[in-house]
Structure 1
């Protein structure tokens, strides 16, 4: 399903939500209370600005007694996404975020990956995938990075562990290209990037990835990911804990000014190997 037709389908989802909510005599705030989100969220669902998570779609069906309509349509739309089901909502939110703070321990964050690097990462995870499917996934990942080029680009801050610079994804030439890309993004002032050096030792968050997102008129969220799973949370207590963890990672990292020469040095090492 193409992006335009998928967006049209989400708009239909939102229109139906509004119609059936009003038929039930509920305001956005009243429905929000019953499905455990804010009334503002319900309004954004109805305008197809923000996409609900599956558990919210299920609760909407229960409250409005719609016999699984919203859950079934949600599953169809998420299934048509080029992203894994647990990540599809995150990709939608990245385009709405005013600020994104990200941490990766072993890989370059997806938003900062080159086509060749992204391809190697995806191929290593699914070595039997077809070329067509692989091309679609790589294109979808690169499309996400378009958020850096628009007038409403978010403030983006990434922290990576030094291991992400040293793991030779795709070989030396591929890594040199990827690290050169990071340097170019930093020097163009599109991103702020810090590196946690090996010398800092262990940190409790190093076995996970983390993405914090802030928005203009809705609460912030945190997304964490492991092998074949991901969790998107907007519970204020969890977001607060994640923010505190990110602050500790930032304190453990080299400054942006010191991190840049380390990335440049790693790129040069790959070029000369």
Structure 2
């Protein structure tokens, strides 16, 4: 069966339009992604992700595209609009709602993005996409850290984080990164609008094993749910399914350690990574 490129949806956003026009001009020039990558001195994989709006076009690419296709500044004019859209279309609706929520409740198997240090975020994103360019990773880290502004703002919403114990045990990056991340968790947990719990290994297999669940309580007390796997996410707004997600979350909350005991477990993890960091420094 002949290869079929992924369909594009230029009508969805400026970011999608940028990618669609990139493919349109590329195909009109009779160039494959590999050939265009050679012309631009650019990664084929990165170009592919830009075409499908998975990655933002980096600075400097638009000028190269206009020069290669003779498009008289078309991509340079489109770039500022595309650059405003930090997240792919499938996440954008969720991000918009999260920015409005009065209460965010989440379960994750890794340190939640709102709680990550820049170094941890960089290591996690690099591990999740080992073929991405440094610029792609830096863009994603900057977008992730920007989302933390509301958590630390003057009038923040309420946050309730449940993290799996594996988030404290599986290293992301080196022991220094994990040490600083554990300390950051303890610092954030001291905020009055934040509740942090650890779901211990003893809780066993549960409804969200292998994924994550977020509940957003909006104005008027309406609630939406968001479930995410390693490569995709689903926004749930149907009342009946949202109610089930709330029940799942309540069970996780009941099985998790108390906030006080959770902080003790994080403190123990911190000491372990501090010891590991000292050992490495002494070698």
TM-score, length-scaled by structure 2: 0.68
> What are the Cα deviations for residues 8-64 of structure 1, in whole angstroms up to 9, with x where unaligned?
xxxxxxxxxxxxxxxxxxxxxxxxxxxxxxxxxxxxxxxxxxxxxxxxxxxxxxxxx
* Residue of 132, 135, 138 corresponding to 1:135: 138
Match of 1:231 in 2: 234
SS in 2 for 1:240: helix
Partners of 1:208 and 1:157 in 2: how far apart?
17
Partners of 2:155 and 2:192 in 1: how far apart?
15
Aligned residues, how many? 202
Q: What is the 5 A alignment of 1:170-249?
A: 170-217=173-220, 219-249=222-252
Q: Which runs of 5+ in 1 are unaligned?
A: 1-70
Q: Which runs of 5+ in 2 are unaligned?
A: 1-8, 17-52, 54-81, 277-283
Contact 1:112 1:182 in 2 (8 A): yes
Would the alpha carbon gap of residues 119 and 110 (structure 1) be closer, same or farther in structure 2, given more than 3 Å must change? same
SS in 2 for 1:272: helix
Following superposition, the deviation at residue 136 of structure 1 comes to 1.1
Match of 1:74 in 2: 12
Match of 1:126 in 2: 129
TM-score, length-scaled by structure 1: 0.70
Contact 2:12 2:89 in 1 (8 A): no
- Higher Rg: 2
Matched, 1:97 2:95: no
Moved over 3 A (4+): 77-80
Contact 1:99 1:213 in 2 (8 A): yes
Match of 1:28 in 2: none
SS in 2 for 1:159: strand
Following superposition, the deviation at residue 218 of structure 1 comes to 6.8
Contact 1:103 1:209 in 2 (8 A): yes
